[in-house]
Each structure stands twice: as structure tokens, then as C-alpha cells.
Amino acid sequence: MAPSRGPQPLARSLHATLANHKGPVNVARYAKGSAKYILTGGQDRTVRLWNASLGTEIKAFTAHGYEVLSISVAHDNAKFASSGGDRSVFVWDVTTGMTTRRLAGHMGKIYAVEFNEDASVVASGSFDATVRLWDLRAQTRHPIQVLDEARDAVQTIHVGSTTIITGSVDGHVRTYDLRKGELRSDYIGHPVTAVVPTQDSQTTLVTTVDSHIRLIDMTSGKSLNDFSGHKNASYRCRGCFGYGEASVVCGDEDGKVWAWDLVDAGLLQPNPPPKVHEKVITWTEHHPSDPNEIITASADGTCKVWRQPS
Amino acid sequence: MTTRLKRKLADIGIDPSSAKANENFCLIGTPLPPLEKSKDTGEFVPLWKQEVRDEKGRRRLHGAFTGGFSAGYFNTVGTKEGWAPSTFVSSRNDRAKQKASRPEDFMDEEDLQELRDSRTVVDTTEEMDLTAGTKAELQRRDDIDETDKDPLTSALEAAMLPPAKDSAGARILKKMGWKIGQGIGPRVTLRQRRLQDLQASTGRAIAAEDVKLGPDDEEANKHTYAPRDTPLLIVDRKDNFHGLGYRPGMSLNESLGARGSNAQQGPSISAGFGLGALNDADDDDLDVYDSSSNSRNRTAYDIADREDDDSIAISSKSGRAKRATNNIRSTSAETFRDGTLVLPGFVLSDKPVAEDRWFPLPEIPKGWTPNPRRVWGQTQSDQSEKENIKADAKEPIPYNKWKSGMSADERGTMLGETPLPSAPKSVFEYMSQKDRERLKNITANLKTGTPEPASTPSPASIRMPSIEPHIASAALRGFQPFTSDPIKQGRYTAFLQSQADPSSSITLKPLPSQSIIEFNKEMDEYAQSAQIFKPMSGAMAGRFTSAAVVETGPQIYEGLHTPSEKEQEAKRQEEERKREEEKLSPKEHAAKLGMYGPMTREVKVWQPARLLCKRFGVKDPNPVSETAENGPSSSYPSSSQPDDTNGTQLDPLQTPGVEVGASSSGTDINGGKRDLTNIGLGEDDTQGRDTLTYERPSVDVFKAIFASDDEDSDEEEAAEPPEPPQVPATTKDIEMPSIPVDTVPDMNTFKPAFVPKESRLTIGSDEKEKSKNKDKKKEKKDKRKALVSFDDEGDEGESLSIKPKKRRKEKEKSKDKDKDKDRDKGKGKEKKHLKESKKDDEDMWVEKPAPPGVQAMDVDLVLDEDRKVGEPVPQVSSDVDGPNNAHGPTRGRKRAIDFM
């Protein structure tokens, strides 16, 4: 899992600031493939498409009537899904900038939306404590299935090839295993705000609002590691893995980006990290292939692209 | 009419020789034209066939109108009636003859006549102004004068502009040498003319000698002059109804002869009707009877208004006069009393400005302190005292007493006149005496029943607002608005109850501390809130449920609240309890300690939707549970399923009939041979063998389908899916307990081998009876049909009664086949063939035709027979095919998937 030579230092020099959002940026996602582009969704009801290397805005997708809380990009980059306060999942066509589907059915704001691998199903987790799985192949208005096991708002979803992992405010990480036909719910004890599994789906990074990030073994439910030191008590601060899954990166509510060694859970230098955002960092995402790039989205209205000075 | 029909009619009871029966509805040949041709042939004639002729019989244009040019009408051009087009011929000789053709050339005499009629020598439409230059001209001048007031221009105009139209007389005069502006008569000398001028100016007769001519007039004296124009005495047309000498707008004083001191005599427009800004005040609009126009203050602003506002443009003369005075007044230098000049454009007001009167404050006695409470108390007590007294005084006067004077009738009676026979005034007059008495009684009862007579609604009486009972009862069930005030709430409910049930004896009385007005207000409030808070009705009510607990919000303490020790103690205890509760859950406890793992993990079975599995490209983890879901409704529940579960879960010895097939489930052997390439090529050894060894589904399957619901549990049991091999042990463990164990014995009873004969027979016989009845009915129906139908012969009816039997037999067979087909769906076609042949075998086995109704029963029989048939087949093969056979279509489908 961890490379033998230890984790690479985190990219900490600012490459570009994406500052067109007029309010907090809630989510920032890399596009699929070579991931040259970034999609950000903010409180200003827009989804914006950016060129990460140039730092320029390409397009603004405006159809949401409320804040955008989650974005998911399809595997072929042809469409993406976004959700937020307007209680329906919007599926967009990237080129035309129009919504192709609006999946309504949730009773509350939708915190998380996620495509499956071939973008035939989109899962949405909502304040109404349900996860709805929508079929994008057929033109039905009803979800394929509603997962209503959660007792509180569903904050995050990860859709794997055969599993759906959800994190809920009720403190549970639920793993729906399609192949086995079973549901494994792991009680974390604190509201779960982010669930990021590793590539091999053996472990999952679980961010909770008790200022802890835990690495959970998915087979047994045991906590393998606990990363702490940052401050995350009331906001959704999505953490992620560093390059090669050798480290864990998370922004905190003070606007600092923290990094830990995955194996020994030790804080990487600099410790404490410098404050890079004015307000809470809502989203941290590492570039899927480039070892030197990471993006952070913050409530101060900016999304920043960090690169290693080469 | 055929003889047969006749016979039938006779059977029915109709006399075939009657006229009605023989009535003929056929028409042969074409009807003769009606003998009399109607005058008004309203028949359609195409346009080109219609001929329009005038009263002289000449063809005319289409008759929608008379007249018109007939020249070019249909085909008449070139004929002697029609118009001949002239051709242009160029010739030098006839050039003089050529003339432009006029419309008249193409007109016939009618049109010419019309033309002549329309031409008038004297234009009658034009107004014949006999006094040209007099009335109309003066009128015109007046109009001009009104618009621009310059007297010079008007004089010039009068002198220079000719009258708009000369009358005949004027024209004659002009021809005689008269010119505009001159008088009529022989020319006069200068002296005479001067004399005329003087006479006109002074109005006195002056001797000619008095007129002196200046020295410069000598030259002028040599000529004669036209006499001066005599001013005409114009008498205004009187087109109103005023008395002689009355001018509109004249005040009473003026009309009496006394000249009003006020120079301006604006017509007082009657106050009742508004005049539009553009309307001139007409005579009708003037307030004739308004005598106060003199005293009315129409000063500064009125004048200013009049300068630019012509909406108060009054009837012409007076208006002009006023304007003149205004002009004078505004130009003449006015001074204030102290001698300073009035600003130009301003006018001194005639009336002094009314001063506001100020009263000095009363002197407040020393040591006085305000005490409003005393005043309020006083007024209140006064009110309550007065209320009773006032009740009579304030009583509204009934409408028939509005007129204070005596009525005509009263006067008449006083004068001793005989009353006129007038129409009865009230409904009561039309009523009979009895009814009137009854009404009186009722009203009397009502009055005695109520504490206060309703006829005198005094403000102090108790008014009980009434709501409809259904609203009241609904409001009783609905939201209770006064929960914060229990007394009020109680009164509210009492009020509602009294309203909901009019017969109830609940009466609300004002509280001792309440005045009647307050009570009335309260009642009104209740009525209103009942209207508002009645629960939603009808469709809406079904969608909502009212809350079980009414949230009243947190209790608010007045002032600075310091919680007492008790409360604090209670709070602390509660918190502790909560904490303990939290700690109670071992899962949470473990999570708190960071002991994540099996303690914090829960594993449940989760059934992903089939479509979801498809989308994720995952095999359905529990595919059979799906069939279990729709087991009862599935069209082909295979008999093997209960057998299968039986074989795995129950003692096989208990089920000897089935265990053979179930215990030896050799799918692998079979699966090896089965191959996509084999199927349908006839190389498969086992092909068709399952058809041969086909077993009828056991009776419990049919029961599952057709039996009543109380046997469902068995059915479910039967439909319980076999555990798929890939399901892990954990899920199995969880699933196992869900299978009800107590139903096992029941299941046995439903095995074909264990069904007692009696019960089967009873079931069968019941059905038999039913079906027999049905058959009978059917037969009857058939017979009835035969009676009604026309086309069948009498002897056919008998054959009909027999036919169904045959058909039914066939039907049964076909039904069986259909059933089998249904069951065997998914199997190859060639199997069907085989099966049919097998069916024939089966039929052979049936010794006598099964009684018609025993279809359910017959299944059992066939099953036995099947077994007989199947017996000669080697045991091994039956073993091999057993599960395959038993599983039926579902298995077959699954296998196909496997092959893929």
C-alpha cells in the first residue's frame, strides 16, 4: 500500500487561484481521464469549469436554484451530475452546458452525488436520510432503489464497482455490497462527512467532525489508523489521499492543509502548516495521476491549485 | 313471405294475414311527379340559369338590386337588347364626330331617370341663409370674439371679410351696387352721413343743421356716400323655459330689479352635478335656485382660475363682460389700505381673511395631578348606567316612521275621506285567517321563549353568533386555539358544543367580571376562530393528521429567572440519564473507545434491486428470492421447488413419492452434455427424454394457484428458493430462521402421495357438481338460442344439445395441451411434438372420457397415469432428468444463462 520510500512531500506552492465564485466553494472535483480540468460548485448556485493549469474559467453552468453541494463527473467527461439545495440531481451535458436530466424525488437538500463506473447509475445522498439510485439509461422518474437505512442525513457517497459506501451524520459508514447482497454498517460514533476508499477498496478514509480522520479496514471494520491534529468540528472538510496513497491530506476549518503519513499517522512537515485560505477548506482533492498537484476549495470563495515547484 | 317465416310468426302469435304483417316497405319504380306544381319553386337553379327580369319583362342584371347596367349582362352584348361595343376607327373625316363617351351613353332609361332625379337644381341640403351676414355671420363673429378678444381685429374682420355665403338677396344687392359694410338706400351726402353717425351714437334725433362740417371736409363734401349700415335688431331665439327678462345666473336680488353690488355674476353651477373640464356650463347645469351666489366668496383664486381656465366659460355675454372687468381690475393700480401697491397680477380680496380663533388654555389649579383612571372609571360607569336608559332612546326609528309628516292616508282619514281601494300591502293579507293566527302564535311563542324580545336589538343584549353545526363540530375536532388559557378554552368548547348540537342545553353566560359587550365580543371571537380553525374538509383532511402533541413552546418566566435548586437537580439527573443511555449501547461504547471492529460492525442482508445489479454488471446475489416474491402469481410454479426444499430440509423418507427425483439431483452430469451446439441438432441423447418422463405438477401447485388464502403459508414454504451456492454462509445463517418450521406437517399433507382420497374426492365432487350445473345452464342457453335464432331449422336444436359435449371433450384435450404448453414454455419445439404424441398416448390411457367438470381432479389422475407411462423408462435416466424436469422452466432458463 504505502511505497517503501515514504510519502512524497505535499505540493504546497500556489499555482493558480480560481476565484470567480461569489460565495463559498463547496466542492471541487477533477475531471476524469488526464484530469486537466476542474469543476467547482459553490454557494452562488453555479458550477464552474476551470482549466487547472491556466487557472481560467471555461464555463459556468447555471441552472441550480440553490447552492451546489456536490459534483460527480462521468467516466467519459461527457456529462457530470451536480446536486445541492434544490432537492434534485442535475445531470449536465458538459459541452452544451444544459441539464439533460433533473432527478427529483429527494425530500431535502442533496449533499452527495456520485456516478457509478460507467455512469449508468447515479447515487444521491440527501438530508432526508436516504440514498437514491437513479437509472440514467432509462427515462424513468423513479429511482431504481432507495437505501433508507441511514438514520440521519447522508453526507457522502462513494460508488465503487460493486459497492456503494455511504457516510451519514448518524455516525455510520454503510457499505452496500451488491455482489454479496449484504450491508455492512460500521459505527464511527461521529457524523461522517467524507468517505474515500483506497484503490483496492480494502481500506477507507473516513472523515468525521470530531477532528479525526480514520483509516478503516473494510473487511473487518477495524480502525487501522487515526489522523488528527487539525481542526474539523462543524464543517464538511473532505480529506483525501496523497499521491500513491502514501499520505492523507485534509484541509481544516482554519484554512490550513494538513498532511499525514499514512502508515505511522505522523504529521508531515511543515507542522503546523501555513494558513492558505481565509476560511474553512471544504474540499481537498489530489490529482488522480499527477503526483504534484492538489486542489483545495474553501469557503472564502476561492479554489486553489497547488503544485510542486519543479 | 316465406312459408317458414309465416309458420314462425304464427308460432309467436302474430296473425300473418293482418295488414301490419303484410305492410310493404319496398318502392318499385320512380315516383310520379306531384300533380300540382307549387308556385314557389324553391328548387335550386344554378346561377347561370337564373334569369332576372324587371317588371317590364326585360332581362336584367342579377336581381339583388334594381337598376344597374344591363348592357354587358350574360350573352346580351351585341344583341339588340345588349350593348354593342364600339370599335375604334381612325378616320380623318369623322374626327369631328368623335366624342368621348360619357357614362350616360351606357345607361338605359331607368338609370338616366335615376340620374335625373338625383340631380337637383337647387341644393336643398345646403342651408338657405336668408339673413346671410346677419344671424349666421353674427354667430360666427361671436365665436371668433370668444376665442380672440381683440376688438380691433373683430371690427376689421367684420368690415373686410365677406359673409361666408351670400344669400340670394345679398347677391341681388351686390349686383345693384351694394357693397359689404354699406347701408341700403340711396347714396347720401357727407352731412347726412354724419347725421346718421351721430344719431347712431347718441340715439337721439338730431337736426341736419346741427351737424357741422369741418373745413377739411370740403373735398369730401363733393361726393355722395353710401348710407351707414343699419344695425339689425337681433332678437335671440328663446329656447329655454325661463320667464321673460330672466337671465340665467341672475341672482334673486337682480331678478327683483335691484342691481347686485357685486360686479361679477358668475353663474352658480348647481352643486349636485359635476361638470367636466371640457364642458361648458349649460343652462341646465346652472343652479337656478341657488340664492347664495352673492354671499359666496368668489375672489382671488376664482379670478386667477378664470384667466386660463375656460371650463368656467360661461354663456357668452356675461363671460365676456366679466373678463373685461377683470382686465380692468388687474390693470388698474390697486393699493392696500396702507397705501402700498398691489403686486401686478394680484387682486385685493373683497373679504377679509377669516382668522382662526384661539382660546387660551384654562388655568390649571395648583396641586392638580392628572388621574386618567378617574375619568375612565367615570365614563365607564356612566356608560353602564346610561346603557339601559339609552336603549330606548337610541332605538333606531323603523323605516315606516322616517317620514315625520302625516301620510296621505292619515290626512284622508282626518278629512273623513273614504279610503281608496288600494292593493293589499303585506303578505299577511293574502293569508287565510287561520294561517295568520298560527303565525301569530308561533311568534308569540318565540318571544316568550327568548329571554329578550328579538325585535329590540339593543347593544347591551346578549348576542349569540350562530355557526353552522357541522362547522362547529368540525372545529371541536380541529385545532384548539386557546390552549394557553384554560378557562377560555373551556368556554370555547362549550360554545362550540352548544352550536354543534342546537338541541343541547348548554348556554353560555357572561362571566361576573364581564360586561355584556365584552361577552358579545368574546362570542364573536369564538365564532370566528371556529370558522378559521375548523379542520380541512374532504380530500384535504385525508392527507393530514393533526399532531398528537400540541407544542406550546417553552415556558417563559417573567423577569430574571433563577432556576430553583429542584429544577437544577432535575436537569442534572436528566443529563445523567442521558449520558447513561448513551453509554448503554455497546456499539457506541466501543466506538468511543476506538475499538472499531466487530463490535461496531453490523452485517445485514441487503437485496439490491435487479436493475441495479444489471447496471453494475453484477449477478443478482439472491436471485431466487425474487421468484419467491412473485411466487404466488407466477404462471409456472414448478412442482420441483417444494420437492427440492423438501429433499434438503425434510426427512426424505417422509416423502416417498418425490424423493426419487429430488435426492438424486445430478445437474452436473446433465450440464456436461448440454451444450449450445447440441441443442436442436438432434444429437443430444437426452433430448426429449424429459418430455417422455414428464411428470404432471403435483396437486399442491394447483392448490397454490387456485386454493384459498389460508393455505398460503404452505405455498410460501413451497416456493422458498433453494439456497444458491454462491451465497455465503453468513447470509444463510440469517435467512434460515425465517423459514417457519411449524408448517412442515401441512406440507406433507399436500404431497400427492399423502392426500387422503376422501378429501380429494370431495373436492373433486364439489367441483364436479358445480361444473355440472354450469353445463346444464349452458345447455339451457343453447336451447334458448335455438328458439330465438332465425336461421336454424327446427331439427337443428336437438343436434345443438349434443354438439357441445363433443366440443367440450375436445376443449378439455386442448386445454390440457395448453396447460402443458404453458408449463413447457422455454423448452424446444421438437419436445412439443413429442409431447403431443405423448398426449395421444395419454388419451389412450384414459379409458373412458373424464366427467366434464373434473379438471382439477383429472390432473391427479393424469399424474398417476404419467407415472405409469414413465415407469418403463430406465430409472437412471429419470434420475438424470429428474431435477431438470422438476425444475421446469426456471431451471431451464437458468441453464441457458449458464451456457452463455
Q: What is the 3-state secondary structure (H, E, C) of A166-180?
A: EEECCCEEEEEECCC
pLDDT for the residue numbered B422: 60
pLDDT of the residue at A165 = 92
Report which listed range, A249-258, B387-396, B403-412, B598-607, is most confident: A249-258
Which residues of B fall below an 8 Å CB-CB distance to A? 587-588, 590-592, 594, 596-598, 600-609, 611-613, 615-616, 618-622, 727-728, 730-731
Q: Is the pLDDT of residue B426 over 90?
A: no
Residue B447 has pLDDT above 70, yes or no: no
From B590, B598, B612, residue closest to A145, measured CB to CB: B612
CB A184: neighbour CB atoms within 10 A?
Answer: 21
DSSP SS3 for A48: strand
Span B514-525, average pLDDT: 82
CA B743, chain centre distance (Å): 61
C-alpha cell at B728: 455465503
pLDDT at residue B182, rounded to an integer: 81
Contacts of B397 (CB under 8 A, 6+ apart): none
Statement: residue B57 has pLDDT above 50: yes
**Nearest-5° angle of CA B638, CA B640, CA B641?**
80
Q: Is the pLDDT of residue B629 over 60?
A: no
**Confidence band for B191, pLDDT divided at 50, 70 and 90:** confident
Q: Tens of pLDDT along B831-841? A: 444 444 444 44
How are beta strands A68-73 and A56-62 bridged, if at all? unpaired
Tell me how close the Cα of A147 comes to any Cα of chain B, in angstroms: 9
Nearest CA in chain B to A219: B597
Examine the pLDDT at B496 and tell me if it is beyond 60: yes
DSSP B709: G
Contact across the interface for B608 and A178, Cβ inside 8 Å: yes
Residues of B whose CB is below 8 A from A223: 594, 596-597
Residue A40, pLDDT > 60, answer yes
Three-state secondary structure readout of B620-669: CCCHHHHHHHCCCCCCCCCCHHHHHHHHHHCCHHHCHHHHHHHHCCCHHH
The verdict on a CB contact (< 8 Å) between A162 and B618 is yes
Number of domains composing chain B: 3
DSSP A61: E
Spatial separation of the C-alpha atoms in residues B12 and A305, rounded to whole Å: 103
pLDDT-derived band at B540 (thresholds 50, 70, 90) equals low
The pLDDT value recorded for residue B139 is: 60
Q: Does A226 touch chain B (CB under 8 A)?
A: yes
CA distance B311 to B316: 13
| Helix (H) / strand (E) containing B137 | helix B135-147
pLDDT score recorded for residue A71: 92
The stretch A131-144 carries a mean pLDDT of 88
Minimal Cα distance from B600: which residue of A?
A: A187
- Is A179 near chain B, with CB under 8 Å? yes
Burial of A294 (0-12, 13-18, 19+ CB in 10 A): buried
Ranges of beta strands (E only) in B7-98 are 52-53, 59-60
Angle made by CA atoms B192, B195, B196, in degrees to the nearest 5 = 90
Chain A residues in contact with B602 (beta carbon < 8 A): 184-185, 187
pLDDT band at B143 (very low <50, low <70, confident <90, very high): low
**B9 exposure class (CB count in 10 Å sphere: 0-12, 13-18, 19+):** middle
Asked if B618 and A171 come within 8 Å (Cβ–Cβ), the reply is: no
| pLDDT value, residue A92 | 92
- Residue A29 has a pLDDT of 92
Taking all residues of chain A, what is their mean pLDDT, rounded to a whole number?
A: 88
- B718 falls in which pLDDT band (50, 70, 90)? very low
B606: nearest CA in chain A?
A182
Is B608 close to A221, i.e. CB distance below 8 A?
no
Read off the pLDDT of residues A228-245 as tens digits, 9 standing for 90 and up: 888 888 888 888 998 888
Nearest 5°: the CA angle B251, B244, B234 is 110
Can you read off the three cell numbers belonging to residue B107? 345607361
AA letter at B725? P
Residue A151 at interface with chain B, using a CB cutoff of 8 Å: no
Work out the percent of chain A whose per-residue pLDDT is above 70: 98
Q: Residue B66 forms beta bridges with which residues?
A: none
Closest CB to A144: pick one of B606, B611, B731: B611
State the residue for C-alpha cell 502548516: A273
CB contact under 8 A, A214 and B622: no
Q: Between A and B, how many CB-CB pairs are < 8 A?
A: 99
The strand ranges marked E within B207-326 are 224-225
Q: Is A54 on the interface with B (CB under 8 A)?
A: no
Which H helix or E strand runs over A165?
strand A163-168
Spans of all domains in chain A? 13-307
Q: A149 or B850, which is more confident?
A: A149
CATH assignment of A13-307, given 2.170.190.11, 2.130.10.10, 1.25.50.10, 2.60.40.1250?
2.130.10.10
Report residue B755's pLDDT band, with 50, 70 and 90 as the boundaries.
very low
3-state secondary structure of B827: coil
A contact residues 110-129, partner B, Cβ 8 Å cutoff: 116, 120-121
Burial class (CB within 10 angstroms; exposed 0-12, middle 13-18, buried 19+) of B812: middle
Across the range B607-611, mean pLDDT stands at 86
Judged by average pLDDT, the poorest of A33-42, B296-305, B760-769 is B296-305
Give me the mean pLDDT over the B355-359 stretch. 77
Q: Count CB-CB contacts under 10 A for residue A33.
A: 13
Integer-rounded Cα Rg, in Å, for chain B is 61
Closest residue in A to B728 (Cα–Cα): A180
| SS3 sequence of B221-241 | HCCEECCECCCCCCCCCCCCC
The Cα B582–Cα B576 span in angstroms is 10
| Alpha-carbon span A133 to A125, nearest angstrom | 9
For residue A102, the 8-state DSSP code is E
Task: State which residues form the domain around B225.
Answer: 184-234
Joined together, the cell numbers standing for residue A272 give: 503546523
| pLDDT reported for residue B897 | 47
Considering only CB atoms, A179 lies closest to which of B588, B609, B621, namely: B621
**Between residues B686 and A290, which one has the greater pLDDT?**
A290
Question: Would you say residue B172 has pLDDT above 80?
Answer: yes
Contact assignment for A186 to B601 by CB distance below 8 Å:
yes
pLDDT of res. B113: 82
pLDDT at residue B688, as a whole number: 57
B23 band by pLDDT with thresholds 50, 70 and 90? confident
Confidence of residue B61 (pLDDT cuts 50, 70, 90): low
pLDDT greater than 60 at residue B159: yes
- The verdict on a CB contact (< 8 Å) between B618 and A222 is no
Position of cell 397454490? B704
Average pLDDT over chain B reads: 61
Task: Show residues of chain A in contact with B728, CB under 8 Å.
Answer: 180
CA distance A240 to chain B (A): 21
Phi, psi values for residue B724, rounded to 5°: -70, 150
Residue of chain B nearest A161, judged by CA positions:
B616
Mean per-residue pLDDT, A62-85: 91
Shortest CA distance to B607 belongs to which of A165, A179, A141?
A179
Is B730 part of a structural domain of the chain? no
Choose from A116, A161, A168, A182 for mutation: most chain B CBs within 10 A: A182
Chain B CB within 8 Å of residue A160 CB: no
Q: Which residues pair with A261 in a beta bridge?
A: A247
Cβ–Cβ below 8 Å for B606 and A182: yes
In this structure, how many other beta carbons lie within 10 angstroms of the beta carbon of residue B612? Answer: 23
Contact: A145, B594; criterion CB under 8 Å: no
d(CA B138, CA B156): 14
Mean pLDDT confidence for B19-33 = 77
pLDDT band at B207, cuts 50/70/90? low
Q: What was the pLDDT predicted at B213?
A: 65
Single-letter code of the amino acid located at B112? L
Which parts of B182-328 are beta strand (E)? 188-189, 224-225
What pLDDT shows up at residue B786? 42
Any idea which of B334-338, B441-445, B489-493 has the lowest mean pLDDT? B334-338
Q: Chain B: residue nearest A183 by CA?
A: B604
**Dihedral-angle region of residue B571 (phi above 0 means left; psi in -120 to 50 means alpha; beta otherwise):** alpha
Q: How many CB atoms lie within 10 A of CB B198?
A: 15
- In order, the DSSP letters of B238-294 are --S-PPTT--TT--HHHHTTPPPS-S--PPPBPTTS---TTPPPPTTTB-TT--TTT
Q: Which cell goes with B484?
A: 394557553
Least-confidence region, from A19-23, B102-106, B186-190, B859-863: B859-863
Cell numbers for B538:
374532504
Could you tell me which residue, B811 or B639, shows the higher pLDDT? B811
Q: Do B587 and A187 touch (CB under 8 A)?
A: yes
pLDDT above 90 coverage of chain B, percent = 0
Q: How far apart are CA B236 and CA B745, in angstroms?
A: 128
Which carries the bigger pLDDT value, residue B28 or residue A112? Answer: A112
Q: Which of B591, B609, B619 is facing A188, going by the closest CB pair? A: B591
Residues with Cβ within 8 Å of residue B49, at least 6 apart in sequence: none
Query: For the segment B867-879, what is each residue's pLDDT rounded down to a tens digit?
Result: 444 444 444 444 4
Please identify, among B487, B520, B537, the residue that sits at the C-terminal boundary of a domain.
Answer: B537
Pairing of strands B601-605, A182-187: antiparallel
Q: Given a cut of 80, is residue A201 above it in pLDDT?
A: yes
Q: Do A188 and B601 touch (CB under 8 A)?
A: no
Q: What is the mean pLDDT of residues A242-259?
A: 88
Of these ranges, B109-113, B304-308, B851-855, the one predicted with the greatest mean pLDDT is B109-113
- What is the per-residue pLDDT across A77-120, written as a single tens digit (0 to 9) for each? 889 999 999 889 999 998 898 889 899 888 889 999 999 888 88
